[in-house]
Chains A and B, each alone.
Chain A
Amino acid sequence: MIHAATKGAEASGDSPLATDKAGDPILELRDISLSFGGVAAIKDVSFDILEGEIRAIIGPNGAGKSSILNVISGFYVPQEGRIVYRGARRPSLKPYQVARQGIARTFQSIALFEGMSVLDNVMTGRINHMRSGLLSQALWRGRAEREEVENRKFCEGIIDFLEIQHIRKTRVAQLPYGLKKRVELARALASEPKLLLLDEPMAGMSVEEKEDMCRFILYVNDEIGTTIALIEHDMGVVMDLSDRVVVMDYGRKIGDGSPDEIRNNQAVIDAYLGVVHD
């Protein structure tokens, strides 16, 4: 188990229960249903994400995991159900409005600003932390400059932490896949999210890259206290990282609980081992 080492360094070995560190729900999905035309992507799914936890969403291909993340981040609008965010029902919002509420995300197929440098990409994550508007930037140069310097410092901190200093000035288009994933995480972190959504943060990575990414995710959760919801295929990673796991299959939730509970859940085992659905 390559991942055991990374986890062991951060968390205690005695498999903490979710309630140890997690507080109230930061986000609740209630009876969410989503379909495209006649095809149902999500059927009546409910679960919550608790403040401070790492929540994994797993399931076979096409189970609706990414759709769930897209619903949370506002890219998809569900036909039914509701979303409760930080204690209040959330109306139907545009993706940029969701982002402004403190929910940051990464994409399965990386969505970076390819033509910009790594530093510029990370800086865009702070766009909504820049208060100075168009006019004040023209009129009060001092304040705008101070703000720029502060934001810059913050981003440099994240860049250091994610160990991408050496490529700060490199155009993203020239980076290899693994580093792009890391830059995307850096940009999401730059917005100081309350909830961080990671869509397959380790897909297609080498073993070393996966170990690094695990370390970063754990650190962000432990030290910064960011709540994280992630989709991942590597079961070893999921079981090591997450506090609680949601299992999806054919658009439905088929399991929900701690990694240990999930490991022993018959419905989950069936879904993964491919029991014939009647």
Chain B
Amino acid sequence: MDNLIFAAEVFVNGLMAGVLYSLVAIGFVLIYKASGIFNYAQGVMALFSALTLVGLMNGQVPFGHLINAIFGTQVHHFGWHLPAIVAIVLTMGVMVALAWIVQRVIFRHLINQEPIILFMATIGLAYFMEGLGDMMWGADIKKLDIGLPQGINTGIDSFTADLFGYGFFIDNLDIVATFIAAGLVVVLVAFSHYTKQGRAMRAVADDHQAALSVGVSLNFIWILVWSVAGFVALVAGIMWGTKSGVQFSLSLIALKALPVLMLGGFTSIPGAIVGGLIIGIGEKLFEFSVGPIIGGATENWFAYVLALIFLVFRPQGLFGERIIERV
């Protein structure tokens, strides 16, 4: 009985972790659907946006290290602290600018290239952005606090304590993250179904030639999609950054999004959500139940093995479009 209650707590915690995986995976799906580009840099975009957000909030001088090294100056801070909301808006502006640059400098020259070429370009982009983030804001671990509630939710703690005689430890931040993620998905769905740009986005995702013939500019839509993916990355970056500090290992969550996508399918936003939740819950429960028997640290590989099993039996993922070649 005790084990069951523990398992329930682990389950809920896994659900919360899964929400964050889903967020990153959604960014992948958006870009992949609209342009066929598998964006390896999605995780780094989350890192970069979080770094920029912290830097702006703290009034840190971008490229401070570089400037000081070249000019022998000692500038580090502008001496202001921006309110979180202002910094978030500014960061979003940076992400839009980044989307524009990425389209203009890289992908405009790679139209009609093989998917593997596009993928390689995003790997390059990932490492470039990681280096850029380092150069702009420094490599130290930063604390990100935009005023989201954190710490144990005492309500749930005492409620479960009364019920089971054991208080669940649920972080307030996880609860907020879940609601924000849910809100984000609702906004994305509403955007893509009820706005002109959203409809154009779906059109481009479906058929480039047809989209052109109804007067949709592919270039504009790709910039838009990268911007939206940047926005999703920013939300994910805020959540992860608040939870465990803004640090460069954040970019590694991109890799966790891979098995999530294999589970959910590369072309489905609901798939990304369900895939994220399954991985989140699965790895926590597995660690809880099987981990102690085989020596722990299963969270490192569980997601990948699960994805491997899925690949064998359902290569298109849970929600992906089945690929049927007509001969």
* Chain A residue total in the interface (Cβ 8 A): 33
Q: A130-B196, A134-B195, A137-B196 are in contact. Are A113 and B203 (CB under 8 A)?
A: yes
A residues in contact with B206, CB < 8 Å: 113-116
B73 touches A (CB below 8 Å): no
Question: CB-defined interface of A118-143 with B at 8 Å, one 1/0 digit per residue?
Answer: 00100111011010111001000000
With A96-B212, A99-B213, A111-B207 known to touch, is A116 a contact of B202 (CB < 8 Å)?
yes
Residues of B205-225 contacting chain A, CB below 8 A: 205-207, 209-218
Known: A137-B196, A148-B194. A111 touches B203 (CB 8 A): no
Complex contacts, A188 vs chain B, CB 8 Å: 213
| CB-based contact A96/B217 at 8 Å | yes
Instruction: Please name all residues of chain B whose beta carbon is closer than 8 Å to the beta carbon of A253 when the two chains form the complex.
Output: none
Asked if A21 is at the interface of the complex by the 8 Å CB criterion, the answer is no
Residues of B within 8 A of A144 (CB): 195
Size band of the interface chain B makes with A: 20 to 34
| Cross-chain contact A111 with B215 (CB below 8 angstroms) | no
**Chain B residues closer than 8 Å to A128, beta-carbon distance:** 214-215
CB distance from B287 to the nearest CB of A (A): 38
Is A99 within 8 A of B215, CB to CB? yes
**Tally of A-B residue pairs with Cβ under 8 A?**
82
Report the separation of the CA atoms of residues A107 and B212 in the bound assembly, to the nearest whole angstrom: 12
Q: Is A95 an interface residue (CB 8 A)?
A: yes
Q: Which residues of A contact B195 (CB under 8 A)?
A: 132, 134, 137, 144
Contact of B197 with A by CB under 8 A: yes
Q: Which residues of A contact B203 (CB under 8 A)?
A: 113, 116, 124, 127
- 20 CB-based A-B contacts, threshold 8 Å: A75-B212, A94-B217, A99-B214, A107-B213, A111-B210, A112-B210, A113-B206, A113-B210, A115-B205, A115-B321, A125-B214, A127-B199, A127-B214, A130-B196, A132-B196, A133-B196, A133-B197, A137-B194, A144-B195, A188-B213
Inter-chain contacts of B211 with A (CB < 8 A): 96, 113, 124
Neighbouring A residues of B207 by C-beta, 8 Å = 111-114
Q: Which residue on B lies nearest to A111, using beta carbons?
A: B210
The chain B residue with its CB closest to the CB of A141 is B194
Assess whether A107 is in contact with B209, with CB atoms less than 8 Å apart: yes
A113 to chain B, nearest CB (A): 4
